[in-house]
Amino acid sequence: WRDMNLELLDPFRNSFPEVIEDTLEEGYATTCAFNRKGTLFATGCYDGRCIIWDFDTKGIATILKSKQVHPITSVAWSHNGKKLLASCNDYTVVVYDVLSGEAESVFSFSCVVSSVEMHPRDNSLCVLCPQLESPCLVRFDKVSHEKKVIPEVQEEMGREKKAPKNATGTVASFDRKGDRIFTGNSRGVITIVSVDKLEVLHHIKVSGGGMIKSIQFNRSSSGKDFLINSADRTIRLFTNPERIQDIEQLAEFTDPVNRMQWKKCGFSCDGDNVLGGSAQKAQHSIYIWNKDTGQLIKTLEGPKEGLIDIEWHPCRPVLTSISTVGVVYVWASNFTENWSAFAPDFKELEENEEYVEREDEFDIVDEVSKKKVVHDESEYVDIEAVDDFDPDADPDELVWIPVVIPPPTHPQRMDI
């Protein structure tokens, strides 16, 4: 579905959004996330609910509720789209079944979990980042869960040693294939850990030494890089090669004029652009740079409201942003009508013109007189093979939530 619609998009349109196209208003949104194909969009709310939107119709598909009524700090979709993780402000993480709307399991921590992320291929594995503890890897099912602390190191005085308590890991993220976990701490050190054995493979010291605020990987089909958002007001682009010792910094993205902090960073759907959301309290600004040249190509200016979260659509030049008043803004390209795209010889008229038709231009021609096209009937036509557009596709993936039609209610008989 996703790849068929990509072929219908205008190749000459901008690959980045330009204007606010729509708003999603239901509850007070605090965080958001798309499913893998971008058909469903989840927002976590201040009252503990998770709203699932049908992103094509912009209508509510379902609402997920649990006993927790505290603000949602982060949401994440499973690879098959059937589960949604939500971390709450009451030290808990809830696993929802999207179809039934029920909470499958709840696990608690000793502090608030600031972010959650599902494994890109395993539907029962996730990484969590408690605010006062080290990030942990959690494998869960409906009845139990197993938590393992992710090891970290820090670089100091030219030697390696275990990270002290004042250098607690702040963020963690799976790489694109899910084989390694990248964690960042308050000292500006990135630790790379294997998922299967939780062994430290490598670590790098980010220049500037600022706290690592977020790690975002390029999830596109050709993505081999990742972004680091640091507290020194700089977004850095790194390579992500197979040999981790070859990781190197490629570029830096900053606002040289205002020197602002960045609330969040990320990649465009095709991986060619980098975006950063401003952390100013009364400024809803989103910056878009070209990844290869580092040139600023667009600045999106929203309402005079702060920005909480931003998310780029997985396969369209569309992004969503959440303001400090809990409203979700949908940004899209500025569409202009171009009828010549449908017919190459189409000509737009400024005003009505008189047209003189040929004598036989609109005559009905007998179908029998038309020349028949001869087809080779011996040619083999394959009707079973399916083009493999998405190598990571899951045959059991949930793309849309089916509409449940309530049974008809019989009207009461009225005595006349």
Q: What DSSP string describes 8-58?
A: HS-TTS-SS--EEEEEE-SS-EEEEEE-TTSSEEEEEETTS-EEEEETTTT
**Do residues 17 and 331 touch, judged by C-beta distance below 8 A?**
yes
Nearest 10 degrees: Cα torsion 290, 295, 297, 300: 100
> How would residue 207 be classed by pLDDT, with cut points 50, 70 and 90?
confident
Task: Give CA–CA dist 51/94, Å, rounded.
Answer: 14
Higher pLDDT pick, 166 / 216: 216
Per-residue pLDDT at 372: 53
Q: In angstroms, what CA-CA distances link 13 with 2, 19, 254, 270? A: 18, 14, 27, 14
The residue length of the chain stands at 416
**Do residues 227 and 215 touch, judged by C-beta distance below 8 A?**
yes
Does 166 have pLDDT greater than 60?
no
Task: Give CA–CA dist 84/171, Å, rounded.
Answer: 20
> How would residue 416 be classed by pLDDT, with cut points 50, 70 and 90?
low
7-11, 56-60, 62-66, 400-404: which range is least confident on average? 7-11
Token pair for 304: 């005079």
pLDDT tens-place string over residues 332-364 = 988 766 666 666 677 777 788 888 888 777 777
**Do residues 263 and 286 touch, judged by C-beta distance below 8 A?**
no
Per-residue pLDDT at 404: 63
Token pair for 306: 């702060």
pLDDT tens-place string over residues 110-156 = 999 999 999 999 999 999 999 988 999 999 988 888 999 999 875 54
> Residue range 36-42: average pLDDT?
94
